[in-house]
Structure 1
Amino acid sequence: MKKIYVLDTSVLLDDPNAIYAFEDNEVVIPTVVLEEIDSKKRLGDDLGRNARRISRTLDKFREYGNLNKGIHLETGGTLRIEINHRNLKQVRHYFHEVNNDNLILAVALNLQLEEKEKESPKEVILVSKDILVRIKADTLGVAAQDYLSDKIVRFDDMYRGYEIINVPTLIIDKFYNDGFLDTTISPFNKYIFYPHQFLILKDELGSSKSAIVYYDSHMRKLFPLHSGDKAIWGIYPRNAQQKMALELLLDDNIPLVTLTGRAGTGKTLLALVAGLYKTEELSLYRKLLVARPVVPLGKDIGYLPGDKEEKLRPWMQPIYDNLEFIFNKHEGNDIEDIVAGIRGLEVEALTFIRGRSIPNEFIIIDEAQNLTKHEVKTIVSRVGENSKIVLVGDPEQIDHPYLDSTNNGLTYVIEKFKDYEEAGHVMFEKGERSRLAELAAKIL
């Protein structure tokens, strides 16, 4: 039985191609959705871009027939703009306010009531990325679901960059004796490994014996880490994931590194340490460029007083906090003087680096979970020759209204690049800021 899908504005602003995602079913767009899209089309960010794209698509569809009566889609389904069924009489029994959300709910509810009077009624489903709209629809007895076609991966299935494997003690002893392990032997031959993936080998009998190894996809062998426990600018890796991250950050053959984890796990700190080491001490890169989105991304920061640097300072303060921690350990001088004295360090808002070509630089993009798939593509595709880019963020902490842990740009890059030699990833697990910070990240 075919179904009727009523699309909320949030779906089309998130994915302008959403109308093609419902196979041979009927897709309905309430007129109030068009009004909301029209209000967004002048924005300079991704919402505006998507609003303009769906507007052009609908305008093209007018060539195929009357959108009010419905047109056929190449998927086998139909699309129509619903100008009726906006009567709020039924909805106002539960929700008294007249607003756009309730008008969309009214369309779905009235269509459902109309279908129930037919001999072969179709199921009406409201599709929205707005959680409260779905809850309100459920209250009205209307089936509602999230838009899932933009999901890259289930959160629990996200690539971590490493696996924990229990092995016989003899395997761990063999690794330390030979300096490598062949992945054709048991138990490794039953696993599929990704380039630069790490393994934590633990004794299956429960002893303290363990080893951290990484997978070389060319030789198909497991090798020890090069970085080990050595300090970089006075900063030591404190746990297994931090050791893995430094391995990727210090490897010049890996131009793309992604680091995820909760606040306080050391992602940004290690990226900055590695960047400073590579640019200031080894001079392997011309500049260390650190950027983060001005949240909400794409908004003007002109209302803040002062010049550009003074305006950016509140948004960039987390970067300066990490730099202060590094340099207080390393130099003991005032952070302002140190930062001013480093010619190769540039701290910038993401707004100001989009569109640039960036060769021979070590680039760190902090809070990358607030990027859309389009924005992250724009940024990574601007990386020039001999540059390295590090994307850092927490997919569970999203500030963008139409993104979540599974459809943001950072998760998109991780999943798309995990099969390629050019990229490496580590998901941090343990907080190192303080016991209180780690507890807060878990329970709050």
Structure 2
Amino acid sequence: MPEKPEINTKLYVLDTNILLHEPLAFLSFKEHDVVVPMTVLEELDYIKDSKKDVARDARVSIRAMEDLLHEATPEQMIEGVAMSGLGSGEAAPTGMLSIFADHGMPFEQQAFTSNENDNRIINAALYLQKIKLPRQVVLVTKDINMRLKAKGAGLAHVEDYRTDQLISDIKYLSKGYHTFNGDFWQCVKTVDSRTEGRDTIHTIDKKALPEAYINEFLIDDEEQFAGLVENITEDTLEVLDLGYDRLMGRNAWGISPKNIGQAMAFHALLDPHIDLVILTGPAGSGKTLLALAAALEMVIEKNMYDKIIVTRSTPEIAESIGFLPGTEEEKMAPWLAAITDSLEVLHKNDENVKGSMNYIMEKANIQFKSVNFMRGRSIQNAIVILDESQNLTASQLKTIITRCGEGTKLICGGNLAQIDSNYLSAVTSGLTYLVEKFKNFSGSATINLDGVVRSRLAEFAEENL
């Protein structure tokens, strides 16, 4: 067969942070060839044995490359090994993967003479750009400063890794509800209503909301209508009429909603048919408090679940948790202070707050667990509250979700404006992935809590700082 014309395909040089962000990223470039500089392998080797939270991703990437290259000769590794057969569908790679020994580059060919890893990777890309002309060589990195340095050094093509991004900007992220301007019934031309038991279901024309998805809430800005999309056909939407006042009247564990966003969140949290509830929004919008109040209501009052498991992303937990005294629950307590703070709020009017908290934690069987120790478990008939989930990657979230067995409800909360990870942004966070991937799943609901209710100080800070 005739060889693929190289001139029509690009040569992508990968930075280390790409393979830490997505370990199998080298398989995402379709017909184009991929080069991994030796410096990148050295960095992955150092990270895989460290106690950093990305050590596992480094090991996964190394193993995946080793599986592809283990039978290749040194010459083949330099020339490139075909990646065909490693995927399926239109996105399956057909290009070559090669290792570039950037240590042996001629000194006069180097734009940067200092021996920093970033500089060596840029030098490798510049050298390949020179010897591969007229073929396009592209450096791919998530490091903004590295992109600036590479451009300044003369590299023509530098890109961020966007293959994994489901949305281009966080403002396009699904909110979980749609607000109609004016009166809802003025926006709907035709409607067919029916009653099923105590529920009223309206069938409306899909043209009124062509991009609707299952479990999306519908409200109007005149505070007259509140509904939930229950079924979608080619031409129609079936909307369950929730009633605006009835929705605002929902409460759990003595907590009532302060705005329509919290009311919608309560409806999703207390619905036993919804297995995954995703709560996004700024600090102070009530994500943790609502989740805990609903969980206590369903475990203690309604006996729907056996226990509450609380977990969260803990940066550098591998280094930090071992030095803390006590059991796993006691070690996790400092990381999960938000939960104990919320418990205090829920019982602030009791005579003995501490006694009430201890009694409730025992009665509801509240367990504090580390995300690191969730792998391999199977959680049955429980409510899992995953706090601060914006700091998790899509693969880490998958690990947690796949632990949920029969009768388990997962509540994920997070603020995409407070990402602590060096390898994630708002559009690449696992929480963003979760919202977009699950929005058409009938067993999930998303609510963006818009509005700080913690205090006027917190609200002002959120808006102005």
Contact 1:86-1:104 at 8 Å conserved across structures: no
Residue 283 of structure 1 corresponds to which residue in structure 2? 303
2:358 is aligned to: 340
The answer as to 2:94 corresponding to 1:76 is yes
Letter in 2 for 1:258: I
Contact 1:414 1:425 in 2 (8 A): yes
Distance 1:44 1:382, change over 3 A: farther
Equivalent residue pairs, number: 429
CA contact (8 A) 1:289 1:346 kept: yes
Report SS of the residue matched to 2:149: helix
Q: Map 1:344-355 onto structure 2 (within 5 A).
A: 344=364, 345-355=366-376
Alignment-derived partner of residue 128 in structure 2:
111
Instruction: State whether structure 2 residue 129 is matched by structure 1 residue 129.
Output: no
Contact in 1 for aligned 2:247/2:263 (Cα 8 Å): yes
After superposition, residues 49-198 of structure 1 pair within 5 angstroms as 49-59=56-66, 60-65=68-73, 66-74=76-84, 75-84=93-102, 86=105, 97-115=114-132, 118=133, 121-142=134-155, 143-154=157-168, 155-166=170-181, 168=183, 170-171=185-186, 180=200, 182-185=202-205, 188=208, 190-198=209-217
Question: 2:392·2:431 contact (CA, 8 Å) conserved in 1?
Answer: yes
Provide the aligned C-alpha RMSD in A. 2.9
Give the drift of 1:148: 0.9
Whole-Å Cα distance in 2 between the matches of residues 258 and 52 of structure 1?
Answer: 30
Match of 1:391 among 412, 418, 429: 412
Aligned residue number for residue 87 of structure 2 = none
CA distance in 2, matches of 1:314, 1:35: 35
CA contact (8 A) 2:347 2:357 kept: no
Distance (whole Å) between structure 2 residues aligned to residue 242 and residue 86 of structure 1: 60
Aligned 8 A contact 2:388 2:413 in 1: yes
Residue 90 of structure 2: aligned partner: none
Query: CA separation of 1:14/1:220 partners in 2, compared to 1, >3 Å: closer, same or farther?
Result: same
Residues 1:201 and 2:216 aligned together: no
Shift of 1:276: 0.9
Cα deviation, residue 262, structure 1: 1.4
- How far apart in 2 are the matches of 1:405 and 1:87? 40
Residue of structure 1 aligned with 2:10, choices 3, 22, 35: 3
- Bigger drift between 134-143 and 272-281 goes to 134-143
What are structure 1's unaligned runs of at least 5 residues? 203-207
What is the CA–CA distance in structure 2 between the aligned matches of 1:186 and 1:19, rounded to whole Å?
A: 41
The answer on whether the counterparts of 2:262 and 2:286 sit within 8 Å (CA) in structure 1 is: yes
Gaps of at least 5 residues in structure 2 are 1-7, 85-92
State the Cα deviation string for residues 65-106 of structure 1 (Å, max 9, x = none): 52112233323322221114756767666xx75311111111
**1:222-233 aligned within 5 A:** 222-225=240-243, 227-233=247-253
Look up the match of 1:217.
231
Question: Matches of 2:107 and 2:338 in 1, distance apart?
Answer: 47
CA distance in 1, matches of 2:57, 2:374: 21
Q: TM-score, normalised on structure 2?
A: 0.83
Q: Of 248, 253, 262, which residue of structure 1 is paired with 2:273?
A: 253
Q: Which residue of 2 aligns with 1:205?
A: none
Using the TM superposition, name which of 135-144 and 254-263 deviates more.
135-144
SS for the counterpart of 1:67 is helix
Kindly, what percent of the aligned residue pairs are identical?
Answer: 36
8 Å CA contact 2:32, 2:95 repeated in 1: yes
Q: CA deviation at 1:146?
A: 0.9
The reply to whether residue 25 of structure 1 matches residue 42 of structure 2 is no
Superposed CA offset, 1:259-307 (max 9, x none): 1111111111100010111112222211122221222355451123455
Counterpart pick for 2:313 among 270, 293, 312: 293
CA shift digits 1:323-348 (9 cap, x unpaired): 1111114x25333x223212122233
